[in-house]
């Protein structure tokens, strides 16, 4: 059996699989169950300072090739998050807890970071894929290097510099930019400790042929699932080569071999979300087993050996 333990930004994970934000992260019980089923760690849904309603149903649609999601980052706000953290941490955390935070203004990122750090997450993930509501054209923070760096700088200022007792600050990047490496570099210069790449692709649209209208109430939604894996692998490789910082490779991972491919591209951990739609939460344990089988078959004794082997 290979050593599957991985250290990401100073935090140790039993194995590299991590529940991605927005999937099964609504309650502490669901997060705990994912770890019990084999995940090395978990990520909360993106947490807003105040309640955020999201979009009306139907918000999700899937086929064997892809999945569309237009939930709209619904969340009950920081008050409910406090209860989730307390419950998940009771008696000791079963696995590292990554707190994903989101906002529509730079000043709101500062506020939510100030509150979330009090809950002592193992890692803070800044979701910068939402539009900047103060911008005339609503450009997403993740699509402009200056904006992305500004968000990281204010969060870093609240959380504190890297060191003992300070949770690492990572940035969830969007693939919807031709220069993800440049965006990552700007975030690194502003103080990011690592990255999660990627968020959903698109948006995309599916049409109901009988009704002759979009399937989703919101018309469009973020694209995930098997179809986006090649894009995710390329983005992870770009971010890894541009910064050399640890990456959680996320997007289209369905199997152990998918996870191995993501790590060869430069990922230290592998974020898994849409897989649950196809294989169930039990898929985490199955993917870990598949990774072990691949390592045994290919003479890999420690997973760290393969991280970033593709230059």
> Known catalytic residues?
130
3-state SS of the chain: helix, strand, coil percent to 5? Answer: 40, 20, 40
For 45, residues 6+ apart whose C-beta sits below 8 A from its C-beta are 21, 22, 25, 26, 73, 75, 100
The vertex-239 CA angle with 128 and 47, nearest 5°, equals 25
Are 201 and 226 spatial neighbours (Cβ–Cβ below 8 Å)?
no
* CA-closest candidate to residue 188, choices 157, 229, 219, 149: 149
Are 217 and 61 spatial neighbours (Cβ–Cβ below 8 Å)?
no
Look up residue 305 and give its DSSP letter: G
What is the Cα–Cα distance from 174 to 228, expressed in whole angstroms?
12
Strand 6-8, strand 169-173: pairing: unpaired
CA 122 to chain centre: 14
* Burial degree of 304 (CB within 10 A; 0-12, 13-18, 19+): middle
């Amino acid at each position: 059996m290979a050593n599957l333990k991985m250290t990401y930004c100073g935090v140790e994970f039993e194995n590299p699989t991590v529940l991605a934000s927005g999937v099964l992260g609504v309650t502490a019980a669901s997060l705990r169950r994912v770890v019990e089923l084999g995940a090395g760690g978990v990520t909360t849904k993106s947490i807003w300072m105040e309640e955020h309603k999201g979009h009306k149903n139907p918000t999700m649609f899937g086929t064997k090739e892809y999945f569309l999601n237009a939930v709209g980052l619904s969340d009950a706000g920081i008050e409910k998050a406090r209860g989730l953290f307390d419950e998940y941490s009771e008696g000791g955390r079963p696995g590292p807890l990554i707190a994903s935070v989101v906002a529509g203004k730079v000043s709101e990122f500062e506020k939510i970071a100030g509150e979330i750090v009090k809950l002592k997450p193992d890692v803070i993930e800044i979701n910068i894929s939402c539009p900047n509501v103060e911008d005339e054209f609503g450009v997403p923070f993740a699509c402009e290097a200056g904006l992305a760096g500004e968000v990281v700088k204010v969060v870093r200022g609240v959380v504190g510099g890297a060191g003992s007792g300070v949770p690492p600050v990572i940035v969830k990047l969007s693939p919807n930019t031709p220069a993800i490496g440049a965006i990552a570099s700007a975030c690194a210069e502003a103080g990011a400790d690592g990255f999660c790449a990627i968020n959903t692709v698109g948006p995309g649209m599916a049409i109901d042929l009988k009704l002759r209208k979009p399937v989703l109430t919101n018309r469009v939604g973020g694209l995930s699932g098997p179809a986006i894996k090649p894009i995710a692998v390329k983005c992870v490789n770009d971010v890894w080569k541009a910064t050399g910082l640890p990456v959680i490779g996320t997007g289209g991972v369905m199997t152990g071999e998918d996870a191995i491919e993501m790590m060869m591209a430069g990922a230290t951990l592998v974020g898994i979300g849409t897989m649950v739609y196809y294989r169930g939460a039990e898929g985490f344990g199955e993917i870990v087993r598949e990774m072990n089988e691949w390592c045994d078959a290919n003479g890999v004794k420690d997973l760290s050996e393969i991280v970033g082997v593709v230059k």
